[in-house]
Amino acid sequence: MRRLLSILVLVMMLSSLAAACAPQDSAPAEAVETAPEADIAEEETAPAEEEAEESAPDSDMEIGETAEEDTIEPIRVVFLLPQTMSPFEIDMWNSIDQALADGIASEIKMIEMKEPTEFEQTIRQVSESGYDVVISAFFLVKEPILKVAPDFPDTHYLMVYESVPEPISDYPNVRGIQYDVQEGSYVCGVAAAHMSENERVGFIGGADFPGIVKFLAGYEAGLLSVNPSISLDIAWAGTFVDPDKGLELGLSLYERGDDVIMHAANKTGLGVFIAAEESGGYAVGVDVDQTDLAPSNIICSALTNPGASVYASLMDIASGNFTNGTINWGVDDGVPAAALNKLLLSEEALAAARSAEEQIVNGEIEVPQSTETR
């Protein structure tokens, strides 16, 4: 019962985060719809503020490829949500809302897609409705987007966490966004190795996919750079949406003696944080700064920065600088690799992690993207 209550509390925390992060003035509740019942042709979108600034936030302006003198043509943007909100999707939606506030977008809408069988129909419907940009994430949307995109050459499609297949000339209006997640994972591996007293740590992945192995490869390389003798236990959850499974695996690894566990398992990883709280161990988050979910246990988070990458792509489209194909998003785009919990990390661990990130930025460390370790 205690574990069930803990899961419910954490889910409520995440729901509160989503509510807090959702646009208040620019995107009313009516803008969030459910496919396919929603009448997509009847646009209940949020208009841009008349006096919205045409520049990105300071942190994002350093990232984008556009210059101040570029002409911005505000765009209509629809975000298709293929699963329930997680911190990853919240960060994306916040960036879309920011684009509206900054005058890059003229209208925004979120549509929830419940079943994969609905995806192609929904993508086709919003394309027919005249949206300039269609954004969605993860592998389930790749096939339907690639199927629909050639029929709507004037619409831009952003596939987040997916790649555009070769030849990319077949998809001139499609951009895939991938992430150099191995970089932040390396930094967190350095921090974890310094914080581990047992010289034994863990990693929980949602599935043995190449994109998740990148997290593992970076984490392992960072660990070994500090302590070549450290032991790394690995568990595959087989799911990205089951916090109970994350709790079960987390408790198992902590009981085995692992005193720091990194997850790369989306919502399954939320259970790892509960296991850390129950066991008194440390944990490592991913994608966004997850410290607030367990501030006494999460020492750092390996950042994906999905919001910054989406914002930069929207700026490219609005300013006429769009290029198709796949971009890889990482520290060379001006974003941080990791969020470090200064209240938990020792001075030694904090200094080592910062030094590792600086060396990655300077090209002194090239982090591996794959490992044979399983």
Between the CA atoms of 131, 136, 142 and 146, what dihedral angle is there, to the nearest 10 degrees? 10
Give the DSSP letter of residue 259. Answer: S
DSSP string covering 123-155: HHHHHHTT-SEEEEESGGGHHHHHHHGGG-TTS
Give the rounded distance of the alpha carbon of 210 from its chain centre. Answer: 16
Helix (H, G, I), strand (E, B) or coil at 288: coil
Between the CA atoms of 21, 23, 24 and 30, what dihedral angle is there, to the nearest 10 degrees? -120
Domain ranges of the chain: 22-179+306-333, 181-304+342-361
Length of the chain: 374
What integer pLDDT is reported at residue 138 of this predicted model? 84
Burial 190-207 (b: 16+ CB within 10 A, else e): bbbbbbbeeebbbbbbbe
Residue 273 parent element (H or E): helix 269-279
**Backbone angles phi and psi of 328, in degrees to 5:** -110, 125
**Residues pairing with 33 in the sheet:** 111
Q: What tens digit of pLDDT does each residue of 173-200 get?
A: 999 999 999 999 999 999 999 999 999 9
Q: What tens digit of pLDDT does each residue of 224-278 get?
A: 999 999 999 999 999 998 999 999 999 999 999 999 999 999 999 999 999 999 9
- CATH 3.40.50.2300 assigned to domain 22-179+306-333? The reply is yes
**Backbone angles phi and psi of 227, in degrees to 5:** -140, 95
DSSP string covering 295-321: TTTEEEEEE--HHHHHHHHHHHHHTT-
What integer pLDDT is reported at residue 194 of this predicted model? 98
CATH class of 181-304+342-361: alpha beta
Q: What pLDDT tens digit does each residue of the chain (374 aa) get?
A: 444 434 444 444 444 344 333 333 333 333 445 444 444 433 344 443 333 333 333 333 344 444 445 699 999 999 999 877 888 899 999 999 999 999 999 999 999 988 888 899 999 999 999 999 999 998 889 999 999 999 999 999 999 999 999 999 999 999 999 999 999 999 999 999 999 999 999 999 999 999 999 999 999 999 999 999 999 999 999 999 899 999 999 999 999 999 999 999 999 999 999 999 999 999 999 999 999 999 999 999 999 999 999 999 999 999 999 999 999 999 999 999 999 999 999 999 999 999 999 999 999 999 999 999 99
What integer pLDDT is reported at residue 64 of this predicted model? 47
Name the token pair of 179.
């992430």
**Residues pairing with 133 in the sheet:** 77, 156
Between the CA atoms of 369, 329, 292 and 342, what dihedral angle is there, to the nearest 10 degrees? 70
Sign of the CA dihedral running 339, 241, 161, 192: positive
User: Residue 265 contacts by C-beta under 8 Å, 6 or more apart in sequence?
Assistant: 204, 205, 206, 212, 237, 239, 240, 246, 272
**Residues pairing with 175 in the sheet:** 158, 325
Beta strands at 298-303 and 338-340: parallel, antiparallel or unpaired = antiparallel
Q: Which of 110, 97, 90 is nearest to 52 (CA)?
A: 97
What integer pLDDT is reported at residue 33 of this predicted model? 52
What integer pLDDT is reported at residue 27 of this predicted model? 37
CATH fold match for the domains 22-179+306-333 and 181-304+342-361: yes
SS3 of 24-89: the string is: CCCCCHHHEEEECCCCCCCCCCCCCCCCCCCCCCHHHHCCCCCCCCCCCCCEEEEEEECCCCCHHH
